[in-house]
Amino acid sequence: MKFSLSWLKDHLDTTASVDEIAAKLNAIGLEVEGVENPADKLKGFRVARVLTAERHPNADKLQVLTVDAGDGQPLQVVCGAPNARAGLVGVLGLPGAVVPANGMVLKVAAVRSVESNGMMCSTRELELGEDHDGIIELPEDAPIGQAFADYHGADPVFDVAITPNRPDCMGVYGIARDLAAAGLGTLKPIVAPQIAGTFASPVDIRTEDAEGCPAFYGRTILGVTNGASPDWLQARLKSAGQRPISALVDITNYVMLTYGRPAHAYDRAKLTGAVVARRAKDGEGVTALNGKHYLLDHSMTVIADEAGVHDIAGIMGGEHSGCSDETRDVLLEIAYFDPVRIAQTGRTLNLTSDARGRFERGIDPQFLDTGLDLLTGLVLEICGGQASEVIRAGTPPSGTRQVHYEPTLAETLGGVAIPSAQQRTILESLGFSVVAVDSQDGEQWSVTAPGWRPDVDGAPDIVEEVIRIHGLDKVESVALPRADGVARPTATPAQKLERRLRRAAAARGNHEAVTWSFLPEADAAVFADSAVWTLANPISEDMKAMRPSLLPGLLAAVRRNLDRGAAGLRLFEIGRRYLRAENGASDERLSLAVVLAGEKTARGWATGKPATFDAYDAKAEALALLAEAGAPVDNLQVMGEAGGQFHPGQSATLRLGPKTVLARFGMLHPAVLKQFDIDAPVAVAELFLDAIPGKKGAASFARVHYAPPALQAVTRDFAFLVPADLPAGDLVRMVKGADKANIVAARLFDDFRGQGVPEGSKSLAIEVTLQPGEKSYAEADLKAIADKVTAAAAKLGAVLRG
């Protein structure tokens, strides 16, 4: 909402400065987004008289002027304007002034070898108009030497953000009322001319949609002369950022911007029969004033005559019946439309307008007659003509609301004690009426909110009114009550898990990335096992599908990094993957993904060539992080079916039991890398944190009892010949489980194929750690354990190598 200081002063009697007004607006919740003071731009420009004008010795089109800028000593100025002549009173820009139109800083300079001490300015150069045919010509009696800003009457313009709850402040008058309540002056009463009308309106009006248009008032004015509106009106509209159109249109806009009250003017010559507020018929259409055609339906209220629709009620008028310079007779419409229907219609048509913005927030339903009087008075004053009697169709709602209020609420909810007399004054100055209610229970009021405050519907609204005018800065900090002792832990197990894993993953050398939740559909599809969530209105096609996995987002980050020249990358992310729950809600599951791309180690003096990441690196990340997460990593099975996104021979899942997949890892499939445009091997590990079983029972700090055994552990090595396709992990598990009383660890240390190993077989060597209990092992004990190991291995077809 933009308005000028002089416009405000039409309604507010105040001596406050621009800065004081801006500060107060901010303090009462009318946020000032900017104050534009034209005087700032016109600093350094003065009213000046040309004393003499001579031909420039070196240029045909230039003149050398002597100019009196009020300093006594005439200044020499070079000027190219054709109208520059002795005796002309114009505007001189002095050295140091900045030309508003182009930002040029004026300085003393030689123009074709003649010194010039400033510039005589055109209207366009000062951004006061479009004229650039010559320099500004002021009246003869303009005071020489006066700052041009003062002479011109520069009028500062406020730009205020109006929150949606304050339709009353979408008019200058409402802002003036707020400022007056806040002590910044006196609100001037609205003076509307009483024009009775001397004849019945030749155009009849009715409302047939009592719900959408409860009240429709109007009158006809015959014999008007439309055309450009007067300068004062144009200046007002321009300060509000509006383009003047014609007097009749400008008047309706002016009333809207001043009082927050939209209205419409129809060219009577374009109307046929009675003008009626009704529901649109499905399929009916209208070309609106913005030149676009809108298809309407039965949910929308329109203003129509026998010929068709002339106005999308409360939103935008029709092109056909709008006023033009030829308009002679005009029908003024002022109506009350249901805010909800206006909002729905506007949304359906995707059509915004100043009128819609006000109607959907709620305008004062009691302002119909006053509004119509104001409009009529302005039309008669500016356009002439004869006004008919007013026709009133329907009845507006009262718009007032009663709220029960206890003045102590200012303190108990608002946090600041304000004497009730002061609260009453504030409310009354805002147009509320206050009536004390009999009560045994402290002071109780019945507060009636005025029709222009549709936002007020409860006691907290009254508190807000009182404290915002009293001053929010008077609210003192009060400490929240605090429980005794040291603050209790608050994090949930899931939160602790996430925090721990994040730092564990980073400690392992990985950088945490935060990538978009939404992906290109194609990227999401690669990693989706079921239908992904896809936005109806994405901001771009690249941000359309909710990620079913963290991997595609990380892969895109990998590509960007590789494109920037990175040789090796370790990235991870902890976040949600978005699945669908059966009831149509989302099923968001916490995941952790690590992406290892390209070089693991750069070429080195000790290590030689660069090494790239492989599937075992991914396995290491998966196991280490699962261990940090408290998963029983010793019990996990390495199984297949990591998914089609993976290299089929270099990927696996880590499962707890045959079904619960805690993680998958391995090398990505070359086809996936190709789709993501990545030209480097990529190993990944993806942990499904939601699948990790939580700790059972109450947490205890005491560990399971342990004392290091007195006897030293012994190790024995076993080498087995096994079928080449036997997973080594199966053999290790089997060996480890061969004698649980004695075997505490089994570690594979060699996988050999080649000389001495038959084709189709491989040799696996395992170091078994044995922990004696009470007494050391005798040879026979060791032999018995070794036999158990060999027998267990044999179940997998393993043969002890001689």
Partner 1 sequence: MDHAATEQAALSRIAAAQDLDWLEGLRVEFLGKQGSISGLLKTLGGMSPEERQSEGPKIHALREAVTNALGDRKAALEGAALDARLASETIDLSLPAPEAARGSVHPVSQVMDEMAEIFADMGFAVATGPEIEDDWHNFTALNMPESHPARAMHDTFYFPDKNAEGREMLLRTHTSPVQIRTMLAVAKASPGGAPVRVIAPGRVYRSDSDATHTPMFHQIEGLVIDKGIHLGHLKWTLETFLKAYFEREDIVLRLRPSYFPFTEPSVEVDVGFTLVNGKRVLGGQDGWMELLGSGMVNRKVIAAGGFDPDQWQGFAFGVGVDRLAMLKYGMDDLRAFFDGDVRWLSHYGFAPLDVPTLSGGVGTAA
Q: Select from 107-115, 251-259, 466-474, 764-772 the region that touches partner 1 (CB under 8 A).
A: 466-474
Among 15, 194, 530, 537, binds partner 1 (CB under 8 A): 537
534 touches partner 1 by CB under 8 A: yes
Q: State the nearest-atom distance from the C-beta of 327 to partner 1, in Å.
A: 33
CA distance 663 to 550: 13
Q: State the nearest-atom distance from the C-beta of 574 to partner 1, in Å.
A: 8
Between 459-470 and 420-429, two packed helices, what is the crossing angle to 10 degrees?
A: 90
Q: State the nearest-atom distance from the C-beta of 410 to partner 1, in Å.
A: 9
SS3 content of the chain, % helix, strand, coil (to 5): 25, 30, 45
Q: State the nearest-atom distance from the C-beta of 213 to partner 1, in Å.
A: 16
Binding mask 566-585 for partner 1 (x = CB under 8 A): x--xxxx-xxx-x----xxx
Q: State the nearest-atom distance from the C-beta of 72 to partner 1, in Å.
A: 42
Q: What is the dihedral of CA 382, 383, 386, 392, to 10 degrees?
A: -80
Binders of partner 1 among residues 38 to 57 (CB under 8 A) are none
Binders of partner 1 among residues 514 to 533 (CB under 8 A) are 514-518, 533
Q: Select from 74-82, 283-291, 456-464, 623-631 the region that touches partner 1 (CB under 8 A).
A: 456-464
Among 139, 485, 489, 608, binds partner 1 (CB under 8 A): 489
CA distance 280 to 121: 55
**Amino acid occupying residue 466:** V
Binders of partner 1 among residues 327 to 346 (CB under 8 A) are 339-340, 343-344
539 touches partner 1 by CB under 8 A: yes
**456 burial type by CB count under 10 A (0-12 exposed, 13-18 middle, 19+ buried):** buried
Query: 430 vs 181, 231, 451, 625, 636, CA distance in Å?
Result: 6, 32, 11, 63, 72
Q: How many angstroms separate the most distant Cα atoms in the chain?
A: 130
Exposed e or buried b for every residue in 428-450, given b needs 16+ CB within 10 A? ebbbbebeeeeeeeeebbebbbb
Binding mask 589-608 for partner 1 (x = CB under 8 A): ------------xx-xxxx-
Site residue total, partner 1 (CB under 8 A): 104
Query: Of the two residues 107 and 347, which places its CB atom closer to partner 1 in the complex?
Result: 347
Question: How crowded is residue 704: how many other Cβ atoms within 10 Å of its Cβ?
Answer: 5
Binding mask 120-159 for partner 1 (x = CB under 8 A): ----------------------------------------
CB 314 within 8 Å of CB 359: yes
Among 112, 292, 404, 560, binds partner 1 (CB under 8 A): 560
404 touches partner 1 by CB under 8 A: no
CA distance 747 to 734: 12
**Amino acid occupying residue 290:** N
Binders of partner 1 among residues 356 to 395 (CB under 8 A) are 357, 360-361
Query: Of the two residues 147 and 403, which places its CB atom closer to partner 1 in the complex?
Result: 403
Q: State the nearest-atom distance from the C-beta of 750 to partner 1, in Å.
A: 25
351 touches partner 1 by CB under 8 A: no
CA distance 726 to 772: 31
Among 222, 472, 638, 799, binds partner 1 (CB under 8 A): 472
CA distance 789 to 802: 15
Token pair for 23: 């500060």
DSSP result, 463-474: HHHHHHHH-GGG
Among 252, 510, 591, 651, binds partner 1 (CB under 8 A): 510
710 touches partner 1 by CB under 8 A: no
Among 400, 561, 650, 761, binds partner 1 (CB under 8 A): 561
